[in-house]
């Protein structure tokens, strides 16, 4: 009788290494590992993880590259909506987990697997994100979560692997790092309390550039397409180049405090130079080319879109409705935004766009008007204050 086939979302760390041995030797399953690249791995790292998977005994291993899909189906809408969770966090991990889960689910369906596994613990958001996507896309598959179900300590996992002949130094890093195209998360003992801040050595990218630099960002219909007048083959390439330039200034560091899906508060450090600069620059351009009502409703729907994505609800149909609205608002969001990079900070200094509504043809704020008269304003002020004036007369203070 053939062994039951299971697809394992694999990263190569302690938890997923344990999962390979447990699923294969204790559960008697045929393990097929899948690593999903959302922009955080080098070719050397991908090769090393593949070799590790086979050394642990998987039947097959695959790297699923979804970077371009991740941008096209998600990141660009985070830009269109200027999405920052709690006005701080660009959803670096939240967004990529959904796409990792989706890629693994599609791969499981392709291979005809009846079981799918991940190495999330029972303490965080990722377990929900993976479970939700798997239940929607492959509802017939059994979801196996050894780390969550067995509630083993790190030491227990290490001892188990040793008993299976896996000899490796499993050093527990002082800081957990998760890197992707849309930013890097950083967790450590300081983020487990409410008053700690990550020390300089905890940040993945160190300050190497101290001389301020002026750059320009070219946007077309809301998407970043170029830097310093150089147009890139794709927005993904432009994001990567901006990240390289800005991270040298140690820009984009912060700590996010938020509500987890499971109902507790949590803190996480993050390093996201490109996302923070892009969103700020994009929003500045929008303030010049969109109307106040477009800006208001975009902010409302952008926040809602981000919250649902954070909670693993990317596949909810209303998200496609939000994306349609957000994309429709971008038809005139084209132009150049000027930014100055300095150590640990950046400033948006101005924009140029053919669609700029701040036109001197109609007047200069606080200086001169050319499209109305004083009598026009006097009459407008009377009408706009009329109802409140009546209310005060009827209801004296």
In tens, the pLDDT along 185-217 reads 999 999 999 998 999 999 999 999 999 999 999
Question: 10 Å Cβ neighbour count for 42?
Answer: 9
Between residues 322 and 374, the one the model is more confident about: 322
Q: What is the mean pLDDT of residues 389-394?
A: 93
* CA proximity to 13, closest of 136, 154, 151: 154
Tokens 């219909």 correspond to what residue? Answer: 221
In sequence order, the 6+-apart residues with CB closer than 8 A to the CB of 188 are 174, 175, 176, 198, 202, 269
CA 361 to mean position of chain CA atoms = 40
The mean-pLDDT minimum among 221-230, 256-265, 272-281, 339-348 falls in: 256-265
For residues 267-283, give the mean pLDDT.
97
**pLDDT greater than 90 at residue 153:** no
Average pLDDT of the residues of the chain? 94
pLDDT digits (tens, 9 = 90+) for 17-41: 999 999 999 999 999 999 999 999 9
Q: pLDDT band for 363, please (50, 70, 90 cuts).
A: low
Task: State mean pLDDT over 348-373.
Answer: 80
Give pLDDT, residue 367: 63
What is the average per-residue pLDDT within 217-236? 98
> Mean per-residue pLDDT for 127-143?
96
Q: Would you mind telling me the total number of residues written for the chain in this entry?
A: 397
Sign of the CA dihedral with 211 first, then 250, 179, and 321 last: negative
Decide if 102 contacts 138 (C-beta within 8 A): no
pLDDT for 373: 85
Domains of the chain in sequence order: 5-163 (3.40.50.620)
Average pLDDT over residues 176-182: 92
Angle in degrees, 0-180, between the axes of helices 374-384 and 386-394, rounded to the nearest 10: 40
Average pLDDT over residues 101-108: 97
pLDDT of residue 368: 67
Lowest mean pLDDT among 130-139, 231-240, 354-363: 354-363
Task: Give the tokens for residue 210.
Answer: 């101290």
Q: Annotate the chain with three-state secondary structure.
A: CCCCEEEEECCCCHHHHHHHHHHHHHCCCEEEEEEEECCCCCHHHHHHHHHHHHHHCCCEEEEEECHHHHHHHHHHHHHHCCCCECCCECCHHHHHHHHHHHHHHHHHHHHCCCEEECCCCCCCCHHHHHHHHHHHHCCCCEEECHHHHHCCCHHHHHHHHHHCCCCCCCCCCCCEEEEECCEEEEECHHHHCCCCCCCHHHCCCCCCCCCCEEEEEEEECCEEEEECCEECCCHHHHHHHHHHHHHCCCCCEEEEEEECCCCCEEEEEEECHHHHHHHHHHHHHHHHHCCHHHHHHHHHHHHHHHHHHHCCCCCCCHHHHHHHHHHHCCCCCCEEEEEEEECCEEEEEEEECCCCCCCCCCEECCCEECCCCHHHHHHHHHHHCHHHHHHHHHCCC
Read off the pLDDT of each residue in 356-364 and give the average, rounded to a whole number.
74
Cα(6)–Cα(30) distance, rounded to whole angstroms? 6
Is the pLDDT at 312 greater than 70, yes or no? yes
Residue 366 has pLDDT above 60, yes or no: no
Mean pLDDT of 237-250: 97
Residue 56 has pLDDT above 60, yes or no: yes
Which pLDDT band holds residue 338 (cuts at 50, 70, 90)? very high
pLDDT band at 355 (very low <50, low <70, confident <90, very high): very high
Provide the token pair at 35.
């690593």
Q: What is the pLDDT of residue 364?
A: 58
| Whole-number pLDDT of residue 374 | 87
Find tokens 């269109």 and name the residue.
80
């Amino acid at each position: 009788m053939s062994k039951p086939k299971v697809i394992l979302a694999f990263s190569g760390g302690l938890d997923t290494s344990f999962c390979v041995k447990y699923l294969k030797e204790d559960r008697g399953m045929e393990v097929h590992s899948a690593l999903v690249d959302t922009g955080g791995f080098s070719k050397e790292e991908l090769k090393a993880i593949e070799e590790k998977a086979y050394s642990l005994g998987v039947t097959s291993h695959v790297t699923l590259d979804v970077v371009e899909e991740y941008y096209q189906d998600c990141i660009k809408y985070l830009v269109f909506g200027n999405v920052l969770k709690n006005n701080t966090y660009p959803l670096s991990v939240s967004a990529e987990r959904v796409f990792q889960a989706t890629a693994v689910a599609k791969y499981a369906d392709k291979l005809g697997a009846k079981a799918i596994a991940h190495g999330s613990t029972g303490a965080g958001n990722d377990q929900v994100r993976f479970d939700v996507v798997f239940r929607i896309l492959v509802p017939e598959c059994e979801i196996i979560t050894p780390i969550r179900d067995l509630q083993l300590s790190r030491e227990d996992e290490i001892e188990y692997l040793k008993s299976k002949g896996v000899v490796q130094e499993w050093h527990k890093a002082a800081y957990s790092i998760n890197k992707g195209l849309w930013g890097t998360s950083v967790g450590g003992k300081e983020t487990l309390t409410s008053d700690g801040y990550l020390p300089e050595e905890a940040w993945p990218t160190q300050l190497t550039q101290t001389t301020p630099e002026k750059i320009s960002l070219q946007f077309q219909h809301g998407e970043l397409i170029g830097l310093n007048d150089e147009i890139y083959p794709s927005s993904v390439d432009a994001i990567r180049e901006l990240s390289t330039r800005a991270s040298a200034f140690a820009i984009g560091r912060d700590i996010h405090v938020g509500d987890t899906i499971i109902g507790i508060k949590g803190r996480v450090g993050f390093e996201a130079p490109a996302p923070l600069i892009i969103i700020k620059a994009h929003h500045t351009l929008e303030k010049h080319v969109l109307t106040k009502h477009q800006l208001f409703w975009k902010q409302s729907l952008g926040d809602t879109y981000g919250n649902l994505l954070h909670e693993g609800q990317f596949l909810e149909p209303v998200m496609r409705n939000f994306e349609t609205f957000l994309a429709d608002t971008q038809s005139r969001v084209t132009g150049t935004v000027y930014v100055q990079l300095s150590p640990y900070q950046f400033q948006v200094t101005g924009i140029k766009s053919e669609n700029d509504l701040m036109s001197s043809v109609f007047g200069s704020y606080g200086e001169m008007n050319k499209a109305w008269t004083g009598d026009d304003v006097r009459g407008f002020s009377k009408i706009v204050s009329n109802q409140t004036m009546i209310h005060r007369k009827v209801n004296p203070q």
